[in-house]
Amino acid sequence: MRFLALAETLDRIESTTKRLEMVDLISKLLQVAEDDIRETVFLLQGKIAPDYEGIELGMAEKIAIRALSSLSGLREEAIESELVKKGDLGKIGEELLKSKKQASLFSEELTVRKVYESLVKIARTGGGGSQTRKLQLILDLLHSAEPLEVRYLLRIVTGKMRIGVADMTIVDSIAVAFGSKERSDDVERAYNIMPNLPELAYRAMAGGIDSLSTIRITPGIPIRSMLAERLPSLSEILDRMDGKFAIEYKYDGLRTQVHKMGTKVELFSRRLENITAQFPDIVKEIIENVKVDNAILDGEAVPYNMASNEMLPFQEISRRRGRKYDLNETIERIPVVLFLFDAMMLNGKSLMEIPYAERRLRLINSVKESSKIKVAKSRVVTDVESADKFFNEALEAGCEGIMAKSIEDKSVYKPGAREFLWIKYKREYQLEMEDTVDLVVVGAFGGQGKRSGGYGALLMAVYSEEEDMFKTICKLGSGFSDEQLESLPRMLKPYSISARDPRVESTMEADYWFSPSLVLEVKGAEITLSPTHTCCADVVRKGAGLAIRFPRFTGKWRSDKKAEDATNEGEILEMYHSQRKKILADNP
């Protein structure tokens, strides 16, 4: 098929806002694409491979400008300044070529296949001299292109398709082209387990829409992630789930779909990008601890402080993404733990059709938990009180809320679906505690890895004036520099005691105890209800105290303060109440 047919369709799509018209235009194009149907769909999307293959076109705008300059005779600087004004190299190229080429004969007609193959060559060209070779490849294409084709060639090659036909529009177009609009659901179902539209278009053309029903979940090809609905309260969730559901920690990290194929492992993100290269540590854990040959698992990778055994804020993990160079250093500095919460395939058999509880059981049986790979915390609840307790436990552990999951027979894994089989309940705000607090060190926990021999985390407390007691409020393991960590044993040595100080109230058993003396300045994300800490125990709610979520040492030793000058329990209670008022005001 001529590339011009594709360019003309794209041009017409650009001038309509009506989805039905777009579907009509694309389906007609697909019907005539024949052998070039895969390439046609890729180019409609401005791609040369599905996202999960991670192949980028990789042509810098500068080379495209150079090519256009050599073709049109206009200086590169002039094109660049036009680009600043108009922002669309495609249109600039089209105009330039219109005025220049009017009378010339086009050497050779461009076909969709030729364009696609050249783009693949451009993507594969690397190493020394690659810029020159890429320039030559794009020049060859531009030489044979008509002005309208130049517009889309330049946009595709620089990764700026602008109109970018949405995936669902192409799904509908495949249905209309080779069946009818009513078959869109069938195409979508196939798309959810094989998100490769060019391949689906090809199969629909070759075998009809019915042939798509034979597509199965396949190791190496990510399926679209199942998503959750939301409800504003745990009691509504309980009603909706008919009085019984599984409640899981909702980890705040990066959605990670694991594909294990023998000794090979691939990882995919929520957007189905291949993220394997950024997580060699997870790959290793999967190989060592997933005890089946073939598996497709769903989970969340969470940044983690191994020494203090705490989850870290989600933002930390984004530092891993896109990193190529100092990966080893980053792995050491920002380790991640993978929390697995579902199994969609085990030993080559799809589990998507069986209920959640059964899938979870099989997941547990297939994974050997280690320090870096775990199965998500989960429990079955039948009342709001236990659900609420679990929710607060989750927050205290550093999670952002809970996931409620149906345990009814119909609780299958639905790729790409957002339904009430999964319901999320989380804090809708990201609050920074407005003020810092000054906390007293009352205990410590032994460290691991880099921190072995020293302290992994400190047990921190506030002061209660009325009772003359120190009550625990958090474990603190973040915010310390290496030097500060090193100096801790020396600084705490004078206060070291063999058992808990009688003025310390704690439900936690620390590895080391100190008489309350050293005061540190700490900042956290928010104050949450806590099933473990003793600060304000039973004050806000029976059976719960208050804790600081994501506490970090600010770097300030408050040596100017005695332990009794530390933040007191009453202040924490006030901070908790004013935080609640702010939440209510922000979420009326």
Question: Using CB under 6 A, which of 2, 270, 427, 450 touches ligand ATP?
Answer: 270
Q: Does 68 bind ligand ATP (CB under 6 A)?
A: no
Q: Does 255 bind ligand ATP (CB under 6 A)?
A: yes
CB of 235 to ligand ATP, least distance (A): 20
Q: Does 248 bind ligand ATP (CB under 6 A)?
A: yes
Residue of 81, 105, 109, 82 whose CA lies nearest to 95: 82
- Which residues lie closer than 8 Å to 78 by C-beta, 6 or more apart? none
* Residue number, 225 or 278, with CB nearest to ligand ATP: 225
How far from 65 is each of 75, 120, 134, 470, CA to CA, in Å?
Answer: 9, 20, 12, 68
Residue of 46, 343, 278, 297 whose CA lies nearest to 170: 46
The stretch among 249-257, 277-285, 346-354, 491-499 that binds ligand ATP (CB under 6 A) is 249-257
The DSSP code for 268 is E
Q: Does 250 bind ligand ATP (CB under 6 A)?
A: yes
CB of 551 to ligand ATP, least distance (A): 22
Q: According to DSSP H, which parts of 334-403 are helical?
A: 356-366, 384-396
CB of 434 to ligand ATP, least distance (A): 25
Q: Does 268 bind ligand ATP (CB under 6 A)?
A: no
* Residue number, 238 or 563, with CB nearest to ligand ATP: 238
CB of 256 to ligand ATP, least distance (A): 8
Q: Does 356 bind ligand ATP (CB under 6 A)?
A: no
* Residue number, 300 or 505, with CB nearest to ligand ATP: 300
Q: Does 393 bind ligand ATP (CB under 6 A)?
A: no
Q: Rounded to an integer, what is the distance from CA 201 to the centroid of its chain?
A: 28
* Residue number, 249 or 553, with CB nearest to ligand ATP: 249
The stretch among 171-179, 187-195, 247-255, 484-492 that binds ligand ATP (CB under 6 A) is 247-255
Amino acid 271 reads: R
**Is residue 86 annotated as part of the catalytic site, yes or no?**
no
CB of 394 to ligand ATP, least distance (A): 9
CB of 356 to ligand ATP, least distance (A): 10
Q: Does 414 bind ligand ATP (CB under 6 A)?
A: no
Q: Does 379 bind ligand ATP (CB under 6 A)?
A: no
Question: Can you tell me the distance from the alpha carbon of 388 to that of 331, in angstroms, rounded to the nearest whole number?
Answer: 35
Question: Can you tell me the distance from the alpha carbon of 308 to that of 150, in angstroms, rounded to the nearest whole number?
Answer: 58
Subset of residues 210 to 239 that bind ligand ATP, contact rule: CB under 6 A = 225, 227-228
* Residue number, 403 or 458, with CB nearest to ligand ATP: 403
Amino acid 234 reads: L
CB of 405 to ligand ATP, least distance (A): 7
Question: Can you tell me the distance from the alpha carbon of 486 to that of 507, in angstroms, rounded to the nearest whole number?
Answer: 27
Subset of residues 424 to 483 that bind ligand ATP, contact rule: CB under 6 A = 424
Q: Does 341 bind ligand ATP (CB under 6 A)?
A: yes
Contact 281, 440 (CB under 8 A): no
Q: Are strands 310-311 and 373-375 parallel, antiparallel or unpaired?
A: unpaired
* Residue number, 311 or 473, with CB nearest to ligand ATP: 311
Contact 171, 197 (CB under 8 A): yes
* Residue number, 116 or 356, with CB nearest to ligand ATP: 356
C-alpha count within 13 angstroms, C-beta hemisphere, residue 242 = 6
Q: Does 66 bind ligand ATP (CB under 6 A)?
A: no
Sketch the per residue contact string, 143 through 172, with ligand ATP: x for CB under 6 A, - otherwise: ------------------------------
Subset of residues 529 to 588 that bind ligand ATP, contact rule: CB under 6 A = none
The stretch among 45-53, 205-213, 243-251, 319-327 that binds ligand ATP (CB under 6 A) is 243-251
CB of 417 to ligand ATP, least distance (A): 11
CB of 418 to ligand ATP, least distance (A): 7
Q: Which two tokens stand for residue 317?
A: 């993990």
Question: What is the torsion angle, in degrees rounded to the nearest 10, for the CA atoms of residue 46, residue 52, residue 55 and residue 61?
Answer: 40
Residue of 152, 176, 175 whose CA lies nearest to 14: 152
* Residue number, 394 or 488, with CB nearest to ligand ATP: 394
The stretch among 149-157, 245-253, 281-289, 479-487 that binds ligand ATP (CB under 6 A) is 245-253
Amino acid 233 reads: S
Residue of 105, 103, 83, 106 whose CA lies nearest to 93: 83
* Residue number, 155 or 250, with CB nearest to ligand ATP: 250
Q: Are strands 378-381 and 496-497 parallel, antiparallel or unpaired?
A: unpaired
Q: Rounded to an integer, what is the distance from CA 59 to the centroid of its chain?
A: 26
Q: According to DSSP H, which parts of 453-568 are helical?
A: 482-492
Catalytic hit among 47, 250, 389, 475: 250
Q: Are strands 519-523 and 437-446 parallel, antiparallel or unpaired?
A: antiparallel
Subset of residues 296 to 315 that bind ligand ATP, contact rule: CB under 6 A = 300
* Residue number, 228 or 527, with CB nearest to ligand ATP: 228
CB of 433 to ligand ATP, least distance (A): 22
Residue of 456, 422, 51 whose CA lies nearest to 247: 422
* Residue number, 177 or 234, with CB nearest to ligand ATP: 234
Q: Rounded to an integer, what is the distance from CA 349 to the centroid of its chain?
A: 26
The DSSP code for 307 is T
Residue of 460, 506, 464, 508 whose CA lies nearest to 480: 460
CB of 224 to ligand ATP, least distance (A): 11
How far from 294 is each of 200, 219, 264, 343, 347, CA to CA, in Å?
Answer: 24, 7, 10, 11, 5
The stretch among 44-52, 94-102, 150-158, 248-256 that binds ligand ATP (CB under 6 A) is 248-256
Residue of 534, 535, 533 whose CA lies nearest to 569: 535
Q: Rounded to an integer, what is the distance from CA 534 to the centroid of its chain?
A: 35
Position closest to ligand ATP via CB: 255
Q: Which helix (H) or strand (E) holds 227?
A: strand 227-230
User: Site for ligand ATP (CB under 6 A): how many residues?
Assistant: 14
Q: Does 251 bind ligand ATP (CB under 6 A)?
A: yes
Q: Does 376 bind ligand ATP (CB under 6 A)?
A: yes
Question: Can you tell me the distance from the alpha carbon of 30 to that of 40, in angstroms, rounded to the nearest whole number?
Answer: 8
Give the active site residues.
Answer: 250
> Which residues in this chain contact ligand ATP in the complex, by CB under 6 A?
225, 227-228, 248-251, 255, 270, 300, 341, 376, 403, 424
